[in-house]
Amino acid sequence: MEDAFSLTRGIRDGRTSAEAVVRDALAAITAQDGALNCFTAVLGERALAAARAVAADRRAGRALGPLAGVPFAVKNLFDVAGLTTLAGSRTLAGRPPAARDATLVSRLCGAGAVLVGALNMDAYAYGFTTENSHYGPTRNPWDPERIAGGSSGGSAAAVAAGLVPLSLGSDTNGSIRVPASLCGVFGLKPTFGRLPRTGSYPFVADLDHLGPFTTSARDLAQVYDVLQGPDAADPACTRRAPEPVMPVLDDGVSGLRVGRLSGYFDRWAGEQARRASALAAQALGAAGEVTLPEVERARAAAFVVTASQGGALRLPELLARYDEIEPHSRDRLVAGAMTPAAWLVKAQKLRAWFLRQALAVFEDWDVLVAPATPVPATRIGEDWLELDGQRLPLRPSLGLLTQPISCIGLPVAVAPMAGLGPLPIGVQLIAAPWREDLCLRAARALERAGVARFVAPGGIA
């Protein structure tokens, strides 16, 4: 499937139609999703009606939106009118359907994009593998015996497999960046508070972010521009006016101070991840290596906040329906619910302190490069990971390199690095708060240099 930019251009030019594009997407889902398990709901009627509306607008000469006719799908924690919002959990399946679309879904539809379905995820977004016991694992399009990453695994795998050119996911500790890296697609976790979360199922209010997956940096910027804007219904959402990136996307990185994160980010990176980071840094003209202080403690703070808030939020279900809760997260939720308050308060203080240290670093640097995951996709069912000579529990460790960054809300784009091995891996391009433009310019520069690019599964990653 072409990227969103090309599809929309083809629809505008009359080389194809929105209906044909959406029918192709629905056919691809029918043909391939049985093997991948990305989708938990497919909205054929709604999608075709929306595609026909785009076609009618074009025939009538009405202005088409920037994403006119582009099929997209969303992690099933986004409200979709008429669907029950599952958040990956069987315990939520009996709730009534959502009355309206989530704010970000509405914004994409308002730009002409066509919603075709809802996507699989780790239960409650508490996981990095999308090995969902109730809805089945989502399989990596590069190797169906391997994980897609999580918790937005369906969102990344659906884009990588070419079922849709665009999807939405959420990222609390790495749930956009980890699956983007393991599936070889572009992803964006914007600044905390940049995009409204209204109509999405919460996990950890202090850390939850929403964002897109695409097959190109250009699409990522275009979609991000459509998604921006304040929303009074989400108290964490900024009141800043949108700051469009498309006008500056091709400005390149000349003049930007790029550094490569070392120390902790090298220690917990495997060989391919370190090569990816080094190659991206070199291509961006990095001037040196950068260390952040106390990164391991920042990651621990994210871990404590997640366990505590995530467990507390789920406590009513733990009390009422313990046996029905996802086994991969049930015990973690219970343990988290009894986190001493003193630990949580200290973790929040540590986050504030760590943010100040990071802001001081950004006085000298504009973009920081780091691997997105320690390793490429591991096998489904695997429990352990060998890193730095240590045997670590695999599921939480996939977020080792993402958690310290989202813990202080910094914006991050993930770019898939080309040609480093049989499986893809991505790099994080990190900037100061509200500087998504720099993350996306760096991703675009890597893409234009041919260093980062989306490759359809089956090619050389």
Partner 1 sequence: MNTKNLARQDVAVEDVEPFVRAGCSALGLELDEAALQRVAGVFAMNARIASLVTSFDLPEAEDPLPLTRLD
Catalytic center residues: 75, 151, 175
Select 56 or 320, whichever has its Cβ closest to partner 1: 320
Binding track over 406-435 against partner 1, x by CB under 8 A:
--xx-----------------------xx-
Helix (H) / strand (E) containing 48 = helix 44-59
Joined tokens for residue 188: 């964006």
Task: Output the smallest distance, CB 355 to partner 1, in A.
Answer: 6
Stretch that binds partner 1, among 134-142, 252-260, 315-323, 435-443 (CB under 8 A): 315-323
Joined tokens for residue 141: 């399009």
436 is a site residue for partner 1 (CB under 8 A):
no
| Distance of alpha carbon 178 from alpha carbon 181, whole angstroms | 5
Task: Output the smallest distance, CB 137 to partner 1, in A.
Answer: 21
Q: Residues binding partner 1: what is the number (CB under 8 A)?
A: 48
Q: Which of 20, 41, 246, 300 binds partner 1 (CB under 8 A)?
A: 300
Task: Output the smallest distance, CB 174 to partner 1, in A.
Answer: 16
Binding track over 251-290 against partner 1, x by CB under 8 A:
----------------------------------------
Select 111 or 307, whichever has its Cβ closest to partner 1: 307
352 is a site residue for partner 1 (CB under 8 A):
yes
Cα(first)–Cα(last) distance of the chain, in Å?
17
| Distance of alpha carbon 153 from alpha carbon 177, whole angstroms | 10
Select 172 or 216, whichever has its Cβ closest to partner 1: 172
Interaction residues for partner 1, span 319-348 (CB under 8 A): 319, 322, 331-332, 334-340, 342-343, 345-348
| Distance of alpha carbon 417 from alpha carbon 301, whole angstroms | 30
Q: Quote the crossing angle between the two packed helices 44-59 and 18-36, to the nearest 10°.
A: 160
Q: Which of 20, 93, 236, 361 binds partner 1 (CB under 8 A)?
A: 236
- Contact of 444 with 411, CB cutoff 8 Å: no
Q: What are phi and psi of 448, to 5 degrees?
A: -65, -30
DSSP readout, 167-187? EEEEESSSTTHHHHHHHT-EE
Interaction residues for partner 1, span 198-217 (CB under 8 A): 206
| Distance of alpha carbon 173 from alpha carbon 303, whole angstroms | 8
294 is a site residue for partner 1 (CB under 8 A):
yes
- Count how many residues are written for the chain: 461
Select 129 or 155, whichever has its Cβ closest to partner 1: 129
- Contact of 88 with 132, CB cutoff 8 Å: yes
Q: Are strands 166-171 and 139-140 parallel, antiparallel or unpaired?
A: unpaired
The residue assigned the tokens 């091995």 is: 421
DSSP 136: E
- Contact of 140 with 157, CB cutoff 8 Å: yes
Select 130 or 406, whichever has its Cβ closest to partner 1: 406
Stretch that binds partner 1, among 1-9, 136-144, 244-252, 352-360 (CB under 8 A): 352-360
Q: Are strands 114-119 and 71-75 parallel, antiparallel or unpaired?
A: parallel
Whether residue 167 is preceded by a cis peptide bond, meaning omega within 30 degrees of 0, is: no
Binding track over 379-398 against partner 1, x by CB under 8 A:
--------------x-----
Select 299 or 441, whichever has its Cβ closest to partner 1: 299
Q: Which of 119, 163, 283, 304 binds partner 1 (CB under 8 A)?
A: 304
Select 215 or 406, whichever has its Cβ closest to partner 1: 406
DSSP readout, 414-431? EEEBPSSSSS--EEEEE-
Q: Name the site residues for partner 1 (rule: CB under 8 A).
A: 191-193, 206, 235-236, 238-240, 294, 296-297, 300-301, 303-305, 307, 315, 318-319, 322, 331-332, 334-340, 342-343, 345-353, 355, 393, 408-409, 433-434
